[in-house]
C-alpha cells in the first residue's frame, strides 16, 4: 500500500486517444481497488459552480435556528430537509454526529418551491448542482464500467432516472467537550454508486484502509470521489466501499468545517447483481441480487434514533 490517497486526471478520458482513456481507467481501477477513494482532476463540472454552492451553503447554515428547523426532514424514504446537530448517527453505536445538514434528493426537488429559504439564488444553485453533478457522475461511471471489463454504457440505464441526493454539511466549532466516541461524522460507508465530496480547506475526512485511518487530503482543483456500497456489490468487491469518518480537529477546534456532497444513486427499480466480468469459479459472487431502492431504504433507516 502506498502512502496516500491517489489522484487521477480525468481529462484524458474525455478528450484523449484510446491509449490515454485506457490509462485513466487503469488508474481508477487501481485507486478504487486499493483505497476506495481518489481525488479526481478535470471532472466535467461548470466553472465556478462548486464555489457558488459553497457560498450558498454557508449562507444557509448562518440562518437563525428557527428558520432552518422549519425546513425539517420529511421522512426516512425522502431524505430531504434540515437535520440539526447530533441528530444523525452515521455510526449507530456512537453519539450523534457533531454536524448539521441540509439534504435534497432527486425525488423531492419540488420541495424547493414550497420551502421559504431566505438565501438569494439557493433554489437555482441546488438545481444546477443536481444536474451538473449527475452529468459528471455519468461520465465517471462510464470509465469505471470499462475498468471492470463491462460495456462503457453498462450503468446508463441503471441511473435513468437516477435517485441521487445532494447534502450540505456544516461542522460547527467545538465549544463543548464531545461525548465518548462522538465525532463530527461517525464511521460509515456510503450506500449508492459513487459519491462526490467537495471539501473546504479544513481537513478531517478520513478513510479506513487496511486497518489504518488515512487522511483524505484537500487537493485544490480536484473532487474527492469514493466508492459506495452498490458499486462494490456490482464489482463483487473488486471496488472497495470503505469505512470513512470526519474526525475531531486536532487543532483549530474553533473553526467551522464545511463540505458539500453528491450521492449518485441508481433508480430504485434497478437490480444490482454482480457484473459477469467480476465473478468466476475462482471469485464466486459474494452478494445476492437486490433492488437498489430496497437496499437504500434498509441502510438509511438506522441513521436516525
pLDDT tens-place string over residues 209-220: 999 999 999 999
Q: Residue with C-alpha cell 481507467?
A: 25
pLDDT recorded at residue 114: 84
pLDDT recorded at residue 109: 87
- SS3 call for 17: coil
DSSP secondary structure code for residue 249 in this structure? P
* pLDDT > 70 in the chain, percent: 95
* pLDDT > 90 in the chain, percent: 85
pLDDT tens-place string over residues 244-262: 999 999 888 999 999 999 9
Mean pLDDT of 35-42: 98
* Contact (Cβ atoms closer than 8 angstroms) between residue 204 and residue 165: no
Entry pTM: 0.96
Per this entry, what is the length of the chain? 305
Tell me the angle at which helices 49-61 and 122-147 cross, rounded to the nearest 10 degrees. 130
Q: For residue 2, is pLDDT > 80?
A: no
* Contact (Cβ atoms closer than 8 angstroms) between residue 178 and residue 171: no
Tell me the pairing of strands 205-209 and 244-246.
antiparallel
Q: What distance in Å separates the CA atoms of residue 34 and residue 170, rounded to the nearest whole number?
A: 29
> Which domains, and CATH codes, for the chain?
7-300 (2.60.120.330)
- Which whole-number Å values give the CA distances from 92 to 66, 185, 303, in the listed order? 27, 11, 6
Amino acid at each position: 500500500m502506498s502512502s496516500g490517497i491517489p489522484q487521477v486526471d480525468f481529462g484524458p478520458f474525455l478528450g484523449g486517444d484510446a491509449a490515454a482513456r485506457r490509462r485513466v481507467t487503469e488508474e481508477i481501477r487501481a485507486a478504487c481497488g486499493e483505497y476506495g477513494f481518489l481525488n479526481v482532476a478535470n471532472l466535467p463540472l461548470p466553472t465556478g459552480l462548486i464555489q457558488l454552492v459553497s457560498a450558498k451553503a454557508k449562507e444557509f447554515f448562518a440562518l437563525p435556528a428557527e428558520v432552518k428547523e422549519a425546513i425539517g426532514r420529511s421522512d426516512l424514504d425522502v431524505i430531504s430537509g434540515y437535520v440539526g446537530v447530533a441528530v444523525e448517527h452515521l455510526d449507530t453505536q456512537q453519539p450523534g454526529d457533531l454536524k448539521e445538514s441540509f439534504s435534497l434528493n432527486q425525488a423531492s426537488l419540488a420541495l424547493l418551491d414550497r420551502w421559504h429559504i431566505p438565501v438569494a439564488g439557493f433554489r437555482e444553485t441546488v438545481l444546477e448542482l443536481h444536474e451538473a453533478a449527475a452529468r459528471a457522475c455519468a461520465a465517471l461511471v462510464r470509465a469505471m464500467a470499462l475498468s471492470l471489463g463491462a460495456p462503457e454504457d453498462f450503468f446508463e440505464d441503471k441511473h435513468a432516472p437516477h435517485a441521487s441526493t445532494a447534502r450540505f454539511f456544516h461542522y460547527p466549532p467545538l465549544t463543548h467537550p464531545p461525548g465518548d466516541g462522538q465525532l463530527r461524522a461517525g464511521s460509515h460507508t456510503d450506500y449508492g454508486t459513487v459519491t462526490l465530496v467537495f471539501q473546504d480547506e479544513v481537513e478531517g475526512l478520513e478513510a479506513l484502509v487496511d486497518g489504518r485511518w488515512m487522511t483524505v487530503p484537500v487537493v485544490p482543483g480536484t473532487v474527492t470521489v469514493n466508492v459506495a456500497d452498490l458499486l462494490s456489490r456490482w464489482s463483487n468487491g473488486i471496488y472497495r466501499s470503505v469505512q470513512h469518518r470526519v474526525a475531531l480537529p486536532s487543532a483549530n477546534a474553533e473553526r467551522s468545517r464545511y463540505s458539500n456532497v453528491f450521492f449518485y444513486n441508481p433508480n430504485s427499480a434497478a437490480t444490482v447483481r454482480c457484473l459477469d466480468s467480476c465473478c468466476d469459479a475462482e471469485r464466486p459472487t459474494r452478494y445476492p441480487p437486490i433492488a437498489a431502492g430496497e437496499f437504500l431504504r434498509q441502510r438509511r433507516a438506522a441513521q436516525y434514533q
